[in-house]
Structure formats: C-alpha cells, structure tokens
Amino acid sequence: MQEFIGTVLAAFRNAFDTVFSSLGDSTIEFLLLFDNSGSMARLEANIQETLVLLIEVLRKLEIRFAIGRVGAADNARLLKPFDEPFSPAVGQRLLESFSFNEGSYPASGLCALSKKVFSPLPASHRSYRAVIMVTDGLTSEARDAGAATEANFLQPARELDFRLSMLQLKSAGTGDAAAEAFTEESLRAVCQRSRGVHASLVASREGALGLPQTVAQLLMKTIAKMAEIPPARPSSATPGAAAGAESAARASPERGLRPLLLPAADIPATELELLSGMLGRVKSLEEAITAAAGVPPSELFDASVAGAAEVPFAQAVCLPASGAAAAARRALESARRDVMEAASAANLLRPTRIASACPSAPTLAAAQWASAERTVAKCAEELCAVFEECVMPHNRFTRRKADLKGALWPPGLMKGIATEWRYRKIYSTKTSGGKRDYSICLALDTSLSMEGVLQCCAVESLVAVISALGMLGFDKFSVIVFGSQVTLVKAEDQPWDSAAVHGLAAALSHRSEAPGHSGAAAAAATSTTRAHGAPLAVDAVCGTADADAIEYGLHQLRNSGSRGPKKMWVFTDGYTSCGKRLTEALVSADEDGIEVVGLAVGPDRTFTSDMYQHWVRAAMPNALPSALRALYSREAGHSPAKPQADGMQQRTPLWARMRVGDSDTSDSSIEAVLGSMQCAFPDLAAKFERTRELKLVRGNQGGLMQVDVAFVLDVTGSMEPWLEAVKEQLKAIMRDIRPKFAKKWPDVPILLRFAVLPYRDTGDAEVPPFDFVPLPALPAGDPEAVKAAMDAYCADAETKVLAYVRGLRATGGGDQAEDVLGALERTATRLSWEGRVRLAVVLADAPCHGANFHAADITDSRPDEAAATAAAKKALRALDASSVDTMFCHVKRDATRLMEERLRAICASLTRPDGSQIDPSRRLLKPLDLFRPGEGGEVRQAMHLVFVLDESGSMSGSPWAALMAAYKSFLDVRGAANQGRSEDKVSVVLFNSDARTPAKCVPIAEVDKSFSMRGHGTNFGPALDAAKAALDATPAGYSPLLLFMSDGCGSGGEAQMASIYTTHARQGLQVHSIAFGSADQGKLRLLAETGHGTFHVAPDPTSLQATFTRIAAAAGAADGLIAQFAQYVTDNLTDKLVMEYM
C-alpha cells in the first residue's frame, strides 16, 4: 500500500505542478463518504484499502479532510471532522468504524453530513470543496423517491458549493434488488451537474482488484476540476526548452512572490506555553518502538550515502543561464532580496513591540525556553558533541604560529638573523585559537501533513539543535517556519533571545503578520484562519511552501558575512505542494555549493529521502545525534561520487522514477500519468490479492455477511403451544432464510448462526442457553474450500440447535408477567456474538414485571415500577454495548404491546458513556405480530373449542374408549394454558345418523370429560348443522376451533362446512378433520379443504390421542399460523435484514 501511495503522489507531483499555484492560498477540503450498508460487505478489504489510500494521499497533499459513513436513513455518522488531527490511533478507529450492516440511504447521508461539516461560504471567500462518495447505489431511496432523491444529491451541493464525485461499485448480479438501485446514468448525471466526476467499477472479485487505481484516478480528476486547469498537451518543443519556458513563467515577478511574514508581537500568554507543551509528548512512544523494533529508538536512524549523485528529479528541471528566463530569475531574486531586507529590518523592532504589547512576555518567553532546554538537555548535549567532532569542527584560526612556510613573520625573521639563520621558522601560519566560521539556516515545516507525532518530533529536534548551538556559543543561524506561508523567526544577525523564543511560539501558533502590520491586523488575519478549525502548530490552509522557504533561506546564506561552509537544515516530511519548484530550489543550492539537508524525525513514513539529495531519517529525536554523525562521517570519509543517472536509478524506488527518463516528459496529462502508473505496476492487482490471501480469518472475513440470530423464548407453561410450534418450524426457518436472502442479494455470501435463550419467571430454575456454535478457521482466497467448510459448519450447527430445542419443556411461571428484562440482559452478555448483524428475536406471550409495562388486568407479583425501569435500562444498555438489535414477535399483541412501547421510550432517553444517544429505532426494530397476515385475527389463548365426535355403532368398545381418552388429553393440555387459568369454552356435538349437543359453550374447567355413546348410523350433515349452531354462540373475543372426527363414511356436510367457514373465518377459525381407523379419508379430506383447515389420519388409538394432543398444543395460534410460522418469520426476517442492514 505504501508503495502504491508513493506512485500516486509521484503522479500528482508530475501532473499537478501548477495546480496548487493556481489555487493559491485557498482552503481545500474533502469530505469522504463511504456506504456502510450490508451490500458493501463483500468488498470490505477493498474498501479499507481505498480508505487508507485516500487518507494518506490527502494528508501528503496538505488537503484537509473529514470522513463519514452513510447507512440507515437517520444514522449517518461523522467519523472524523476536519479539525481532528490525524494519528495512527485515529486511523485504527476509522478502520474499525465500518460494520457494513446497515441499510443504504446515500442521499440522506450526504445531505446530513455535508450540512454538518460545511457552512455556506461568503462570496469573497476562496475555498474549494469536494465530496467523494463510495457506494454501490443499491438503496430503497431509488424506489421510494426516484428523481426527488437525485435532487437531494444536488441541493446540498448547490447550497454549500461543493463538487460531488462518486465511485459506484456496480453489482455483477443484484437479483431482486436490481429495481432498488440508482442507475449508472442517473448518478453520472448527478456528478456532472454538481461539477464532479463519476467512476464505476464492477464489484466482483476480479473487478475489485482495480479499485485502488480507480480511486486514484477519481481523486486526480476531482482536484483537476477544482483548479479548472486543462490537461497539458504534448509539445513539439524539446524537453529542455519546455522546462526553461516553464521555469521562466514561474520566475516572473508578475506571477506573484510569496510574502515573507513575521511572528505577531501580541499573542495570548497561553500560546507561549505551546512550545514547552509540545516537548516530551513523544516519550510514551519510545517503549512501544523499542518493543516493536527490538532496539532502542536512538538506534533507529538512516542517512544518505556519501557523495549523492544529484538532486532527485533534477533531470526534469532546467535553470537557464541566459536569455529571458535567466533575466526573470534575476528579477525574482532581486524582489526576494527586497522582501528579506524589509523583514529583517522590521524584525529588529520586534523586542520593543513585544514589550509594549505585553510587558511580561519577554520574562514568560525566557522561562518557557529554560523549561524547553531542560526537556531536551540530554539530546542537546549529544548534538553538541557531534557538532564539535564532525558537523562544525573549527575551521578558522586567529593566532599565528612559527612555521617553515606561510607568511613572513617579523619575530621569526629577527630570531633567524640573531642566530645566523640557524633558526629557520621565519614564516607563520594560523593553526591555533580556532573558531567556527559557518552560516546555518534552520527551517521547520508546520504544514498539515506534519500534524500529530511528526510535528512534536520536529519541534523537539529543532529546540535541541538550537540549544546545542548555544552550547557551542554559535549564534550565526537563522530560523524560518513554513506551512502555507513563510515566517521569519530569526535572522542571522539577530541574537537568540526572549524575542526570538516569542517569535517561534507565535509562528507555531500560526500568528504571523506582514512587515509593518499592526498586531490587531495580525490577530484579525489569524482569527480568519482559525475559523476553519486550524489546530495549534499545524497550518490549516492547504499547501507546503517549502520551495519558498528554501529560497528565502538560500538568500540569507548567500548574503551571509561568513566565508565558511553554508548549511540549511529543513525539518520536514518531504511532502510538498510546490511541484518542481522544490527541485529547482535544491538544484540552485547545489550549484552554489550550499548544503541543504532534509531531516525527517518521527516514526511516520516520510518522503524526505526521495526529494532531498542529503537527508536524515530518525525514529525519535534522541536518534538525531547518531543520524547526523552517520551523515557527516560518511561525507567526510568519502570523496563525492560523479553524478550518474544509473546510480540514481538504483537508489530511487520504482514509483519515484516512473517519470524519470520518459521519452516525452511534456505530456503531463492525467491520462498519460495514469498510464505511466499502470506501467510502473503491471502486477499491482496481484500484489494486493496475494496480501489478502495470506490471512486465515475467523468469521466476518472480508466480503462475508455473518448474521447472528438468537431466539429468546418464553418457556413458561403458557407458551407450551408456541414452544411446540418452534420445535416444528425452526428447522424450516434455518433452512429458508439464506436462500431467500441470496435471491435478493446473490453477490453477498451470507453465514447465519443461531442461538436459543429460553427464559422463565424470576425465581424459576434458569435454563442454560444454547450458544452460537464457534466458527472454524476459513482459508481466504479459495472459494470452493470456504463454501465446503461453511456448508459443513451449518449442517453441524443445525443438528445441535434442533437437538437442544427438542429437549425444552414449557413449565413454571406463577403469575402472568415474566422475566423478559432479565432474559434481554442475558441475551446481550451470555451469548458469543460475533456477526456483523446481531439480532435477538423475542417470542413472548406475556409482558415483563412492572406495573408501568402492562395493562392493569395482568397479574404481576413484582409490580415495582422503579425497579422495573432500572432493570429495563440495564438490559437496553447491555444490548447496545453488544450491538444487538431486538425484534419482538407478539404472540398476544394486547399483552405485550405496552411493554414494547415503554422499552422504546426508555431507550430514547439513554446515552452512551461517550455522550452519544442510543437510537431506539436501531436497537428495537419494528415488531412482528404473529397473527394471520391480512385477516387481522390475533392470537388468542381464550378459545371456543367445538368437538364434533362420531358416536355411531362402529365406535363401540375400545374405539370409543380411545376417543374419550384423546378428548380428555385435549382438555388437559388446554386447561394448563395461561398457568392453569385457561378461559376456554367447550362445546361437544355427538352424532350418528342424527346429532345432539350435550355441552354448549361450557367453561373448560366445568365441562364433562367423558360421554356415553348411542350407536346407529352416520350422517355428517346434521352434525355440522349442530356445530354451526354451537359456533354461532362463540363469545366476543374468543377464537373458534372445530375438531371433526369420524371412523366411517357419512353423507352430506360440504354445504354446512362452507357456511361455517364463511361465517366464522374472520374470527380466526381453525378446522381440523380426523380420519380414524378405516374411515373414508377422501370425504374427510374434502371437508377439511372446504373449511380451509387441516386433514389428519389416525389409524389406531395411540395415533388418535397423539393427534388430539398435537392439535391442542397448537391451538393457541390463529388459523394457518402454525403451518405458516416458518414462512412468515423467514419472510419477515429476510425483509428486516435487507431493509435494516443492506
């Protein structure tokens, strides 16, 4: 990735040499938005690479950026604002902030986040803004809003004046989701109308390999559009002539000379403390670096080789010696001299202005410098020794000594005459009383790319160098601070005193002024800059004026009164926005014999060694002495090597030499540069893919949508019918969700894990839950092997889940309220959640404890409202901490609806430890009502049970005894419902050739559990007439169930059954027809079909009783619900996954 980032930066350097000059000192801001929907999960690794690429390139180009993610309609999140400094910890947080488990609302997210980070610009303000969004365009917004949503993209772009560029990751096959996508044409039109760029890429495994290159191209074209600079055309002129003309254009004074500023004289006292406050911050990194590298940080350094061939990229520039271009350069140098003289003269007056503005400022500055010197004392002492030995040895001597050669020395001449020339040392040389005759300029980079640890290391190193020079008694040095502007802190002929310290603190605070400006004007200028959120010690305005700073430093050195060597040390990361002007400045210094050294101090990767002929890299400030010793020892011990292009090629990385030696260097168009990038990396895609495939992943691997679903089941006695239903249908649920999901999103591989957490009431014995089966290690890069491993895992997990569920028993529960809140807390804390999507499906027929959570007619042995509210808050916080979303399936809607509404209200009032609000619509999803869809029939446990039983002669003896035993079992099961307080009503119709009704709408606790039989023939018509009369007496609010049983072949009944269904279907009628023994199955099946019910076969007494018991256990559900339970829950879960997480 670093290699590729270098390629992109080199491409920018060649393609956009004039872009930043065109933009001037304006602010450039990028908002990066990434789609966090589940459909993006298949490209997780590619998205992470894209994020790193964009962050690093924008950092090194000195461009301010913010990062956000878009997902659910009201869940757009700003992950990094413009003002937050970037650091490795921030980068790690950003990578971990993407879960790819939300819905997709890109237009809503863009509108919300752009308004959050941008504000309307005044007409006079020059600022360049752009938004880059990475999305697949798959969203319900396209279906719900259509053209209106496209306008939502454009409205904020117009109001806030930013360009919108998009990278659309097109799906290779979207299945049913195709209708829910923005078309490529519509998004391209949106980008064009917002003055941005649109790029698309097929989001397949093969297509995603080109994602980094596509992102680089998108970024380059967006910045080019900002500057509105047309791509350069290949010229027929020779490369040297073209370079000379370009240099002349740059050197033209009319083009504008970057001003040289002075530190403000009036700054707050708190900013004087900035200098000492920045020192010592890197100490905490030393242990970490030592542990990672295995050696102390002081031993981690590198330096350029002796006699470096030439300035990097020198072949791409040409400094003309004559003609119009040379004259223009001389005019620019003359203008620079005038600026330097004015700034130096004004700087002499700063001590007076400082004392006038704040009389205590000099004392405070002196105290701050003393504190700073104590912090860097050890490093400064080591630097002093290095300076004495090899960097700045004595090179000028003031006392003469007798010698055999040199200048004629009168004292020696007289002594020679007196000794008749036996004394021959009549000459003298200056070989003692040594002094140091050097001229040094120190320059500090405070641009945006230096923010964070790198800036602290650079400031600490600068302070240590100045302190070491003070130990040597050397003060012939100048100090320049540069970011987007250049500030002169100290000229060579000025002392390093409290005024200079004050100036350094002001420059680090970006409080500067033009020579002759008042402090009020400086403060006003600074407040304008601060309005854009500039952190202290880091320049907020884009660009690094390193070329201008070096040119000003070279001017000081050229006009120095010293005759000795001249050195300029630049504390920088090497990332420049000056293009070839930096190379021109370094080439000019090399021609004048002035040594310019780039010093990169800090653990971050830098570009210094690829931009400077002489350079030093040190992991920490305490490694700088060793690094400088290595640099100057090498140069002292080796003669300079001859400049050779081959030598440069050997030591320059591939990405840095991709434009060196090109046959047509005049073609710097975007297309040409991107083409050279491809040539430099013909196997880039393969490199990225090999890096990904080196990993063994455990769950949630890149590109895999892992969904964890936990069924939270009430297993008290009242839930016995539903528990049996779950046992029957859970296998179908596990089997059907993945195919239904795959039909909508064929490109997103899904892995479903299931857990089951049963619960009873407080005080009942706790049932151990069935936790998610741990995932095996899956080898990335081998789709067939991964699929085989996943299939084996799913089969094994399914077997274990079903075996566990079959062993559950519904018992316990004294009152109607149950321990729902305790179950929710255990769901969050006791299960091994790992999935991107974490969903708890709660199946309950009763509310939780607490009088404020249920209606007054619900019996509750623990009605304390305060205790229940506290338990609810604890459970909801636990669910949020584990990122578990909850969906209630209402078995008795009236009983649990109030609980769900109260939980939603409590959730809306909760905040996280970081102060953010918990979103109830996110944590408590829209519930499911488990009644028959479309008919409004609720699940009722208060039922009217109508038995229509055959008492013809063929039922005499053991068949009748078996029937009465089955009938009694049915009543026992239903009597146990609702903790033994069943409110069911029972009607019994006995029939032969006629019909009688011995029990009509009798409470279940009072009905007879056995009847005597009469015998004779069989006729179904009168029986169903009597059954209809009994059903017509069904009380309001009761759900009717008709159970028809016969062992023979009767006549009639179809018309009566049709009438029964027509009359009572809307009450949730359930019909069961049972063929016992040798009954006419065809006839009984026809009756079941006519009543839209279920047909059963019971060939013997044992199966008859089992059939009655099974029907009784399932009787608490509305008609068709048991048969449709799996399909209904599966369909709704799939829809929830798609709408909430994709």
Q: What does the DSSP 8-state code read for residue 303?
A: E
Judged against a pLDDT cut of 80, whether residue 819 lies above it is answered with: yes
Q: Which domain holds residue 733?
A: 706-935+1126-1141
> Within a domain: residue 535?
yes
> Within a domain: residue 1107?
yes
Find, among 331, 261, 327, the residue nearest to 552 by Cα: 261
Judged against a pLDDT cut of 70, whether residue 239 lies above it is answered with: no
Query: How much of the chain, in percent, has pLDDT values that exceed 90?
Result: 25
Question: pLDDT by residue (tens digit) across 383-408?
Answer: 999 999 889 888 776 666 777 777 77
Based on the domain organization, do 294 and 430 belong to the same domain? Answer: no
Based on the domain organization, do 98 and 163 belong to the same domain? Answer: yes
Q: What is the dihedral of CA 756, 761, 763, 765, to 10 degrees?
A: -30
Question: pLDDT by residue (tens digit) across 1010-1019?
Answer: 999 888 888 9
Judged against a pLDDT cut of 80, whether residue 262 lies above it is answered with: yes
- pLDDT grade for 179, boundaries at 50, 70 and 90: very low
> Within a domain: residue 693?
no
Based on the domain organization, do 896 and 951 belong to the same domain? Answer: no
Tokens 């009639």: give the residue: 1052
Q: How many CA atoms lie within 13 A of 844 on its CB side?
A: 32
pLDDT score at 208: 56
Based on the domain organization, do 416 and 375 belong to the same domain? Answer: no
> Within a domain: residue 239?
no
pLDDT score at 658: 33
Based on the domain organization, do 386 and 400 belong to the same domain? Answer: no
981 Cβ neighbours under 8 A, 6+ residues apart: none
> Within a domain: residue 686?
no
Based on the domain organization, do 555 and 463 belong to the same domain? Answer: yes
pLDDT score at 406: 74
Q: What is the DSSP track for 444-465? A: EE-SGGGTTHHHHHHHHHHHHH
> Within a domain: residue 741?
yes
| β partners of residue 1041 | 945, 1070
- What is d(CA 213, CA 688) in angstroms, rounded to the nearest whole number? 12
pLDDT score at 964: 94
How are the residues of the chain apportioned to helix, strand and coil, as percentages rounded to the nearest 5? 50, 20, 35
Based on the domain organization, do 414 and 286 belong to the same domain? Answer: no
Tokens 């700087």: give the residue: 347
- What is d(CA 342, CA 258) in angstroms, rounded to the nearest whole number? 14
190 Cβ neighbours under 8 A, 6+ residues apart: 150, 153, 154, 164, 166, 198
Element (H, E) at 998: strand 995-1003
Among left, alpha and beta (phi > 0; psi -120 to 50; other), residue 593 is left
Largest separation between any pair of C-alpha atoms in the chain: 169
* CA 116 to mean position of chain CA atoms: 18
Question: pLDDT by residue (tens digit) across 1072-1131?
Answer: 999 998 888 889 999 999 998 889 999 999 889 888 888 887 665 443 444 455 565 666
Element (H, E) at 597: strand 595-601
- What is d(CA 327, CA 320) in angstroms, rounded to the nearest whole number? 9
> Within a domain: residue 146?
yes
Which of 615, 630, 653 delimits the end of a domain? 653
Q: What CATH number did the domain enclosing 24 receive?
A: 3.40.50.410
Based on the domain organization, do 380 and 404 belong to the same domain? Answer: no
Which whole number is the average pLDDT over 191-212?
A: 76
pLDDT score at 745: 62
Which whole number is the average pLDDT over 288-316?
A: 73
Find, among 627, 485, 622, 705, the residue nearest to 39 by Cα: 705
CA distances from 1037 to 815, 876, 1034 (A): 22, 34, 9
**Which of 87-91, 319-323, 556-560, 1023-1027 is predicted least confidently?**
319-323
Q: What is the DSSP track for 1075-1111? A: EETT--HHHHHHHHHHTT-EEEEE-SHHHHHHHHHHH
* Residue 261 DSSP SS3: strand
pLDDT score at 691: 52
Which whole number is the average pLDDT over 166-185?
A: 63
Based on the domain organization, do 256 and 218 belong to the same domain? Answer: no
Neighbours of 371 (CB within 10 A): 15
What are the φ and ψ backbone dihedral angles of 768, each rounded to 5 degrees? -60, 135
CA angle 206, 207, 209 (to 5 degrees): 75
Among left, alpha and beta (phi > 0; psi -120 to 50; other), residue 189 is alpha
What number of helices (H) and strands (E) belong to the chain? 40, 31
Based on the domain organization, do 429 and 541 belong to the same domain? Answer: no
Burial of 127: CB neighbours in 10 Å, binned 0-12, 13-18, 19+: middle
Which whole number is the average pLDDT over 325-340?
A: 79
Burial of 771: CB neighbours in 10 Å, binned 0-12, 13-18, 19+: middle
pLDDT score at 384: 93
Burial of 49: CB neighbours in 10 Å, binned 0-12, 13-18, 19+: buried
Find, among 504, 512, 508, the residue nearest to 466 by Cα: 504
- What is d(CA 646, CA 582) in angstroms, rounded to the nearest whole number? 22
Sign of the four-CA dihedral 149, 154, 155, 160: positive
Which of 618, 653, 688 delimits the end of a domain? 653
- What is d(CA 58, CA 3) in angstroms, rounded to the nearest whole number? 16
Q: What is the mean pLDDT of the chain?
A: 77
Give 35 or 18, the one with higher predicted confidence. Answer: 35
Domain count, the chain: 5
Question: pLDDT by residue (tens digit) across 95-122?
Answer: 888 878 777 788 888 989 999 999 887 6
The two tokens of residue 708 are 């964890």
**Which of 151-165, 285-299, 1020-1034 is predicted least confidently?**
285-299
CA distances from 603 to 599, 620, 744, 1027 (A): 13, 7, 47, 87
Based on the domain organization, do 94 and 69 belong to the same domain? Answer: yes
> Within a domain: residue 1064?
yes
**Which of 633-642, 874-883, 1020-1029 is predicted least confidently?**
633-642
Based on the domain organization, do 408 and 461 belong to the same domain? Answer: no
The two tokens of residue 722 are 């539903």
pLDDT score at 142: 53
Whether 269 and 521 have beta carbons less than 8 Å apart is answered as: no
Which whole number is the average pLDDT over 194-212?
A: 73
Tokens 């069904």: give the residue: 1034
